[in-house]
Structure 1
């Protein structure tokens, strides 16, 4: 029989989906699962936009332009103006979700064998997309004890080689929820200008910065030829199934390169773009309500984690994720055990094990990502499950010495 590709066998597995078969089997036994493993919000998609979308008249669902529907790109231009970011509609390329925007960036700006420097832990699919494009991920480790703040610019500079083509960040960060300050971004901007690199920022969680306004790299001076922003409607409007993202760049050569790939796949989702354009209309009250809801959810999870002996966490500044350290030796086994061998009053909790968010071998063994995408009542029940599980797990280790540091960091 014919053999499948080596590439397909070596591509990294998604850490937030690899345990789904175990979850399916657990659910089949009648066990209720609190899904904190993946960024699928339970908040309704923008209700007013959905109502308008249902009334749209159309007879043929045709191709949209390869770079997106003109009126939607113009609406996005007006959206970015809210953040004092001046763009033309032509500087916005619509993609099939943020995922395609990431892949288009890698394929357009780097060649096989080139390198990107990425702070870890990072969005796990960067590993997979880089693998597909033949690109090497060079990690620079952020520490949980420092709330996953970015290392000094000098540490990034030390990672640069002749094959380095870009620095890639997620801000606010997935999986840590860290938000990066203007000072930190200015430091990286100086590095990319000095070494003539691309600076790619995945800003899909832009609206969920809780303690201070988001600093976009599009607001930084001197980066017109360097900055590439990845965006998406998935999390902002709780519309993960719309599959509408964007790549924003002022560099005409990058856009021309991206457009070559965009034309090959013909067009981004037409229905998703029409819904997304409607979601941009009068969305202020909706977005503020969602942000308030996530702030409460964050505070709930942080409060509960702080009360669990041996658990070390910090208060994330954005997105809807928390990366916590647990008193376990093997987070992969702990997440498996939660699904296969544990229940608390007929329920359990599903988390994403930490190693999949690192490129450095051995890191994340005692860490997990929590996505606080459930309502507060369900989050309380999920934390009840987690607290009970940590008392019963056979692989529990001694309480971590930094348990009290989390309270200190939050002050």
Structure 2
């Protein structure tokens, strides 16, 4: 690929996506496993695959797949338990490298980010040189491999990075966007799920080019106003979304899938307490308060029940979140069936310095507002101890039962989205 300045009218966007990130972090400690089928997954009966090496992917193993299914497809693979602390540290190092290139970095997951390098070209050279420099710096500094897509907008950059995996760089200039998009199956397009793809397939629209040939009104009639308009735009490579430097979460949540369906209320409440503290730690780390709490209960038949309530005051402690979540669970009445999954979410987030209305009353046995600062201080101290000694450093006494293990899941991340199809190192359409 030539380093000449390509044809970009307005912006230059990079999408940086780490290759098989969780597996490759593990291989830094286990280099003897390179080239083998490796799967990072939990060992419980309902665990799912976090990531798989490309050797395992060739057998059909993919992220979010039940571990039992992965073992049937790849019985001879090496299965490793996740070590999330290492993932966060390597993610931090990678993001530091990206932010040394430009301030316009939008981190969308632990191993993925968009960069707007429009203004960095005068200082660092053309976008291809910038992308090559990023890949080289990440490899030299961390030992990890990144694939990068370069384009004039986020959608095309994302599609290009996916197509360049593993260990690739793909440039799509503005003038060649349609050439890049037209052959793609509709299932590969952003926002197209199984139902939409099936509907398009029934209409004989199987590629991006087929969809582009359909009129806007036809797509709206077939898919609905919003979905039809969205698809009409993306098959033309139109995406005006800016790179958002600081994404402010509107809610934070955590979920737990039980090893076996249960109607043991003590076990369910213990998990709710664990999840409440997990979410509260994230709240304190973000410096924000929650003015709403919600719970989700999924039963053995996969029916999902949800409840939510607004809070009079912003909260930051696991104790307060738990009390609200417990009341929501009680409001549901008797459990309709054995529980498979339960989740706790905090909503209506505001800044932590927004203040708290003082009250003369303790409430009905819940955390009284007058003692909230003390509980906040106590749980903040717990955060420091856990940071130093790990998740088992300190936790509520009710959780020291041996039934619930401390959670290690990285915040807001459940798996990887790398595409398993191998392609060449650098290319342009």
The structure with higher relative contact order (CA 8 Å, sep 6+) is: 1
TM-score by length of 2: 0.25
Which is strand-richer, 1 or 2? 2
Greater radius of gyration (CA): 2
**TM-score where L is the length of structure 1:** 0.26
